[in-house]
Structure 1
Amino acid sequence: MAEIKIAAEARTEFGKGAARRIRRADNVPAVLYGHGSDPVHVTLPGHQLMLALKNSNALLTIDLGTEQHLAIPKQVQRDPLKGFIEHADLLIVKKGEKVTVDVRINVVGDAISGNLVILENSTIAVEAEATHIPESFEVSVEGLDAGAQIHASDLELPTGSTLAVDSDILIVNITAAPTEAQLDAELAEAEAEAGIEHDATDAEEAEAAAEAPAEGEAAESSESE
C-alpha cells in the first residue's frame, strides 16, 4: 500500500467553537496518538483527507514541517447527513510494526442461478505490517451451488498477514432462493402475527357472490323436501 502524504498544521485552539471554524475553512480537526507519546492535535485539509480515506486502512504520512508521523485511521467521525469528515483519530505506527485492522471483503463472480449469495461478514480482522496492510480480500462465488460456504480460513492472505479472528468464521453462505409460494407464506404468517387484516379483493368478493346463490338454492331445496 502506497503512503499518502498530507501536510498538517499544529492545532492550538480547542472546543466546539474552534472545531466549527476549522470545518468552515474546509479543514478537519484530528488527533495523532500512540507509542506512549502525548496526543498531537492537528488540522488536516478536508478534501485531501477525504480522498485518502476512501480506503479505510490508508497509510498516511502526516507532515508537520519539523516532524513527520506515519499513521493509520483509527476512528473517523462523519456528518450523518452530508457525510463530510468532522473529526479523525489517527494511530501512529512504525515501519515493520504489526497492527490489527479490519479489511473489506469483495465478492466477485456469480453463483449458480436460483441461489442467494449472503455476505455474512463484510470485513475480517487481520494482523499485518503497518506498511503492508491489504486493501481488500477478493472472494469468488463463481459457479457455487446452494450449501457452499466460504470461511475465514479460505481467504488468501498476503505474506506477513495472519488472521486475527477464528478461522471458522463464516464469510459467505450460498443458499437456495425462496420460491414465490414460500415468500407469500412467510408474509402471511408475519401479517397474522402482527394482527394485520386485508379487505377482500374483487376476485374474492366475486367468488363469494357466486357461491351465495348456490347455498340459498340448497336451503330452499331442503325446505321443500
Structure 2
Amino acid sequence: MTNDTFKLQAEARTKFGKGAARQIRRDHKIPAVMYGHGAEPVHITLPGHDAMMALKHANALLTIVLDGDEQLALAKDVQRDPIKPVIEHVDLVIVRKGEKVTVDVSVHVEGEAAPETVVSLDHSSVQVEAEATNIPESITVSVEGLEAGTQILAGALELPEGSTLVTDPEALVVNVTQQISQEALDAELAEAEAEAGVEHEEPEAAEGEAAEAAEGEAAEGDAEKSEDA
C-alpha cells in the first residue's frame, strides 16, 4: 500500500513567536515551515483539521497550495502536545516527482504463530528508499504457523515494488520464541530471589509468631490491669 496525496490550503505566516503560534492554534490552524531543494524556508499555516487527518497517515504525501501554487512535501517532523490531541508545529520538506527519499516505514505483523509461542517485534519500523510519490505506508509480515526459533531479518521483508531497503539486512525484525510455562516462570523467580538473598517466612511460622505476639500483648494488658487494681 502506497501513500495517498493530501491537498492542504496553506496561508503565508508573517507573525512569529510563542504568542503568534498560540493564536494560530486558537484559530484551529497549525504553524508550519516548508523548506528544501535550496529554497528559502517558507513559514505557513495549515488548516488544523485537514492537516491532522492527513498526518494520521504514515509518510503522507502532501500537496501544499500557497497563493495558487502547488508544492509536494513530506512531513519531516511533527511536534505534538504531550497531553492534548493537538499538533503544535510541522516541518515540511519539499520533494519532487520521481525523486528518491529515505523514510521510516512501520512493520505490521499479521497471522497466528504456532501454539505456545511468543512473537516479538524487535524493529517496529525499517528505513527504505522509495520515490517520493510512491512511499509505502507500511510493510506487512505474516507469522502464520511459524514455529519457535524462527527469525525474520530485514533482508527477508517483502518490500513494495520500487522500494529499496536501507536498514541493515541482518537486523532482526521478528523473533518467534517458545512460550515460558508458569512453572518455569516460578522457578526463574525463585532462582533470582535466591541469588538476591530474598527469604520468605514459612506461612505456619509466620502465623505462630503472630499468635505469640498477640498473646504477649494480651498478657501485658492483664498485668497492667492488675497493677491498676
> What range describes the TM-score normalised by the shorter chain of this pair?
0.7 to 0.9
Structure 1 stretches (4+) deviating beyond 3 angstroms? 185-198, 200-208
Which of residues 110, 128, 131 is equivalent to 1:129?
A: 131
Structure 1 distance, partners of 2:187, 2:64, is 57
Change (3 A) 1:184 1:59: same
Which of residues 117, 120, 126 is equivalent to 1:118?
A: 120
> Who is 1:103 aligned against?
105
> Who is 2:57 aligned against?
55
> Who is 2:173 aligned against?
171
1:188, distance to aligned residue in structure 2 (A): 4.1
> Who is 1:211 aligned against?
none
Q: Equivalent pairs: percent with the same residue?
A: 59
Unmatched 5+ stretches in structure 1: 209-225
Change (3 A) 1:135 1:205: same
Is the Cα–Cα contact under 8 Å of residues 26 and 45 in structure 1 kept in the other structure?
yes
Q: Does 1:162 align with 2:164?
A: yes
Change (3 A) 1:195 1:41: farther
> Who is 2:18 aligned against?
16
Aligned Cα root-mean-square deviation (Å): 2.3
Unmatched 5+ stretches in structure 2: 210-229
Give the match's secondary structure for 2:158: coil
Structure 2 distance, partners of 1:85, 1:50, is 7
1:13, distance to aligned residue in structure 2 (A): 0.4
Q: Which moves more between the two structures, 123-132 or 174-183? A: 174-183
Structure 2 distance, partners of 1:90, 1:193, is 54
Structure 1 distance, partners of 2:68, 2:85, is 32
1:193, distance to aligned residue in structure 2 (A): 6.8
Change (3 A) 1:192 1:11: farther
The one-letter amino acid of 2:36's match is G
Structure 2 distance, partners of 1:172, 1:179, is 21
Structure 2 distance, partners of 1:173, 1:128, is 26
1:180, distance to aligned residue in structure 2 (A): 1.1
- Where do 1:188-199 residues align within 5 Å? 188=190
Change (3 A) 1:11 1:201: farther
1:166, distance to aligned residue in structure 2 (A): 1.3
Q: Which moves more between the two structures, 20-29 or 123-132? A: 20-29
1:190, distance to aligned residue in structure 2 (A): 5.2
Give the match's secondary structure for 2:112: coil
Is the Cα–Cα contact under 8 Å of residues 56 and 73 in structure 1 kept in the other structure?
no
Give the match's secondary structure for 2:51: helix
The one-letter amino acid of 1:131's match is T
Structure 2 distance, partners of 1:118, 1:88, is 32
Q: How many residues align?
A: 208
Change (3 A) 1:6 1:182: same
The one-letter amino acid of 1:146's match is A
Structure 2 distance, partners of 1:86, 1:146, is 44
Structure 2 distance, partners of 1:15, 1:193, is 57
TM-score scaled to structure 1, two decimals? 0.85
> Who is 1:220 aligned against?
none
> Who is 2:145 aligned against?
143
The one-letter amino acid of 2:105's match is V
1:40, distance to aligned residue in structure 2 (A): 0.7
Change (3 A) 1:179 1:15: same
Structure 1 distance, partners of 2:118, 2:142, is 14
Structure 1 distance, partners of 2:99, 2:143, is 34
